Homo-oligomer: A and B are copies of this chain.
Amino acid sequence: MDPEKEITIYDIAKKLNISAATVSRGLMDHPSVNINTKQKVVEAAQEMGYRSNHLASNLRKKKSNIIGIIVGNLNSSFMSNVIAGVEKVLSEAGYNLIISQSLDSVAKEVNIAQAMYNNRVDGLMVSLAYETENADHFESFVKRGIPLVYFDRVWPHPKCPGIEIDNVKASYHITDHLIKQGCKRIAHITAFRLSSVAADRYKGYEQALIDNNLRVEEDLILRTQLTLKAGIEAAHTILAMAKRPDGVFVTNDACAVSCMQELKRHGIRIPDDIAFAGFNNDTEASIIEPNLTTVNYKGYDMGEVAAKILINRLNNSENVSPADNKLIQKSELVIRDSSLKKK
């Protein structure tokens, strides 16, 4: 048999002296096909090395069976967990997943959105690029009725569910925890450009201070890139302060950890001199000494939830209850030694 030649349903039809329609129906187990015919078809297909051509079938069915997912970077522990959860749910539902990273560039995000649109994805999941300030480039999906679900870095839209955690609340709690431990001057390491996530966390921090009658001091707000390097720089900023903080709440763990390491290197005792809290519960948090107090929320779960919502929309596009428009994933405060001044 020529290995180059692809077998089609027509080849099977010819061989069995029946029509291609019957072969097609036989292969997909259509009830109106005689059981014997069905068996013959399946056997012949097997024997001839037939493989269904999804390209043709997709064209005919106007359905690609593909779900697109766009993220900033997929190689963070959080994001890869999200994707793992998404992949699991989608593959169980029979969908394929195509992934693109915007590398946190708006321009790239726009291109990717366009490409996904042309590729006729059946649904789309998006965590916005860091810089993204509007979601116009996703409007085409909404217009065409293609289900769109935001997660983590969401964009509020009446027709698109957003899955996220309650960043304000979580950050309020963790700041409050630091205060309860006796901190009076709490620094906050956050981002330059306030994405909705960073903004919410800032808000929670601020509110906790206010509710505890502490001043919000601009000097204690360190705006950084939130990278490992930024953590080291932040440490130096703190060391250089005339009046150092007695607590630090960092918007992510990675940056918190590198900042802690640098401070330790300069003789700062944690938590005695400065208590620390992060966000994300990355692996590093339970390895650094002292272990880092942080906020835990499961990327894997968020991925699963987001994917399930998407599947749900795909199955019954009419039944879009506004109730599930904004979904809050639960998160929890994980208290570890980095913040425990009283024991």
* Cα of A320 to Cα of B91 in the assembled complex, Å: 33
What's the minimum C-beta distance from A127 to chain B, rounded to whole angstroms? 14
Q: Is the CB of A84 within 8 A of B73?
A: yes
> Across the interface, which residues of B come within 8 angstroms of A287, CB to CB?
257, 261, 284, 287-288
* Cα of A97 to Cα of B116 in the assembled complex, Å: 11
Could you give, for residues 200-224 of chain A, a 1 whenever the CB lies within 8 Å of some chain B CB and a 0 otherwise?
A: 0000000000000000000000000
8 A Cβ contacts from A114-148 to B: 115, 117-120, 140, 143-145
> Across the interface, which residues of B come within 8 angstroms of A112, CB to CB?
91
* Cα of A74 to Cα of B74 in the assembled complex, Å: 10
A237 at the interface (CB under 8 A from B): no
Tell me whether A54 and B144 are in contact in the complex, defined as CB-CB below 8 angstroms, given that A74-B84, A76-B80 are known contacts. Answer: no
* Cα of A3 to Cα of B118 in the assembled complex, Å: 15
A246 at the interface (CB under 8 A from B): no
Give the residue name and chain of the B residue nearest to A58 (CB): B55
Tell me whether A75 and B64 are in contact in the complex, defined as CB-CB below 8 angstroms, given that A3-B143, A100-B91, A143-B3 are known contacts. Answer: no
Q: Taking each of A4, A87, A115, which has the highest tally of chain B beta carbons within 10 Å of its own beta carbon?
A: A87
> Across the interface, which residues of B come within 8 angstroms of A52, CB to CB?
118
A268 at the interface (CB under 8 A from B): no
A101 at the interface (CB under 8 A from B): yes
A56 at the interface (CB under 8 A from B): yes
Which A positions have Cβ atoms within 8 angstroms of B? Answer: 3-4, 51-56, 58-59, 62, 64, 66, 73-77, 79-81, 83-84, 87-88, 91, 96-101, 103, 112, 115, 117-120, 140, 143-145, 257, 261, 282-284, 287-289, 299-300
